Amino acid sequence: MEKRENNHIETESEADAKKNKIRSSDLKAHAKPMDSTQVLQGEEADQTLNEAFGQESKLDTALKISLGLGSDDEMASTEEAKPVSRLKSVLNFLLTLAICIVLALLFTRFVMQRNTVVGQSMEPTLIASDELFVEKLSHIWNDYDRTELVTARTDGQTDDGKPVVIIKRLIGLPGDKITIEEGEVYINGVELEEPYLSDDVKTNAPTNSSFEVTLGEDEYFLMGDNRADSYDSRHFGPVNEEDLVGRVWIRFYPFDRFGKP
């Protein structure tokens, strides 16, 4: 019995060996020779990448160019594009600057401008070197009011030939009869209340006598708050509406006197 069992075991071992031998031969029969590792370069590498992942993205192209891996044609086209890009940037900057300058000129011409007080004619309301913003648009839909501060052009000229712009208080409106008598101002026969003046301030006529004028349909009468030292409509006469520049909007300097005067 033992001998038969041993023979049987040997028979199974031989069978297993044959099977293993067959499998080994099969592997050798189906195996392909292995090539050594290769590095693809240039167009061959690009073609392989495109086949594997599709068309090359712009980011990949830019990255390759930045690393110096692009083709000679791509590098050349990039170098040619750089001057064009710089020129376009310069032109865009110049265009933006020109637009800003034009807008600033239009703004100061039609909307708002800065004025500096010169002289003593508006003391104590305004003093020399006060910096003001004058708005020039609201009078189109809102008529000028009596006693508000305005700027106006006069017949005088500066050293460089520009019209002299004055800052005064608007006293008389179109159609008013202005009378100055005994140091007081009368509008159409009624004494004008002027709380912005000190009680001791007197308004004298140019010749220290009575003064009277009736304004036309587009004329305004202007006077400075420093009545004893102000060259105004008492001397050069009424101002036409077209010569009024705008309303004094705000005093922005000095900062400790900031606000509407």
Residues annotated as part of the active site: 121, 168
Closest CA to 212 of 241, 240, 244, 181: 181
- From CA 139, how far away is CA 246, in angstroms rounded? 7
- From CA 78, how far away is CA 100, in angstroms rounded? 33
DSSP H or E run through 27 = helix 2-30
- Contact present, 178 and 171 (Cβ < 8 Å): yes
One-letter amino acid of 51: E
**207 Cβ partners below 8 Å, 6+ apart?**
none
**169 Cβ partners below 8 Å, 6+ apart?**
122, 125, 147, 148, 149, 150, 196, 222, 223, 224, 225
- Contact present, 261 and 147 (Cβ < 8 Å): no
